[in-house]
Homo-oligomer: A and B are copies of this chain.
C-alpha cells in the first residue's frame, strides 16, 4: 500500500518509554520533535478528539518534551542570560514559561522552566537543541554549571477529569497542586515530579518521569484509573490549541520572530536588570514597535482539514498578502474554520475583514480575532 506521508523509522528518531503503549492504542501518525516521536493522531478525527478532550481525560505521550537540566553555582546566572524573563523571584516548586532569545531578539525556543532546587532547573523544550545553545554559552562564558539531558520523559494527563484520575493514584495532594506549580509524588518506590501544566486549555498535569523503565507500568496504571472516566489516548489537539492561542515553536514563530511579535509581553521583562542575550534588540523593538504580530482568524467556507502548510492571507479585495495562518482547523465550537498566524501591521483590529486562501482555487472571507479565541 502506497502512502505519501509515511514516516520511516530509525534509532535517530527516538522512541519514548510510552511509544509501545501508543502503538497498542492504534496511533496512526507521528510528528518528530527534538529527534523524538510525538504521537499526533489516533483512530478518531481531530474533531472527535477535541470534543472528547473538552469533557473527559486523555493521556498524552509528550516524551519529546526533552529536558535540559542546568545545575551548579552559576545556574541562575545562565538562566538570566538566556531569557528576557526575570527569574529573580522564582521559588522552588514553580514552573514558568520563558521564551529564550538570540542576539537579534529572535526566539530560540519557548520552554517551561522548572525550579527543582536552588541553582537547579529543568527547561522543558520545544523543537530545537537548547542543550547545545546552553552548553555553547556556558563554555564560552566559563560558567560553573553542569548541563545535560536527563533521562526524564514527560507524560501528560489532560482534560477536566485529569485530577479525578490522578487523585485515585496519588491521593488528594494532586488536587491542591496549583497551576504552574509542581510537587514530588511516589511512583513505585521512587519520587517523581508532577506539575500542573500542559499544552491544553482544559487543565491537567505533566509527570516528569525520571525512570523510563517505569513508563509502561505508569501508563497502564493511569489507563486503569481513567477507564471509568472514559480516558482515551490523545495528543496536543490543534483545535483546542488554536482556540486557546497556545503557540507552537516552528509553526507560529521561528528564530526570525521576537517575543513581542508573539504577544509574549506578559512573559518577559524586557528592561530587567540582568543582562540577557537579545536585550538591546528587544529594547529597540519595544521603543519602535513591531511590524507584525500573531493574531487569530475565524473564517468561513467549507470545513478545512488541519493546516499542514501555511495559508496566505489577503487584504480583502486588494490581493495584497498581509500574513499567513500556520496552524488551524475547523472548530466545532465556532462552527467555522479557525487559524492563527503572523499578521502585518495595519490588520490587527478585532473583526477586521480579511481573506484566507484555503487552496489554489478558493478564497474564504474571514475576521481577525484577538487570542485566545476562547478564554
- Give A contacts to B, CB under 8 Å: 1-13, 15, 23, 26-32, 35, 40-41, 43, 102-103, 108, 127-130, 132-142, 248-251, 277, 306-310, 326-327
Contact = CB atoms under 8 A, between A and B. Distances in A.
Contact of A5 (B4, B6, B129, B309): B6
A31 B9 CA distance: 7
Contacts of A108: 132
A251 B130 contact: no
A14 to B, nearest CB: 8
B8 A40 contact: yes
Contacts of A40: 8
A-side binding surface: helix, strand, loop or mixed? loop
A259 to B, nearest CB: 17
Given A2-B28, A128-B132, 7 more contacts: A5-B9, A7-B7, A10-B308, A13-B32, A129-B132, A137-B139, A140-B142
Contact of A250 (B6, B12, B130): B12
A41 B6 contact: yes
Contacts of A27: 4
Contacts of A1: 1, 3
A135 B133 contact: yes
A8 B307 CA distance: 10
Contact of A102 (B10, B135, B142): B135
Contacts of A23: 4
Given A6-B41, A139-B103, A248 B12 contact: yes
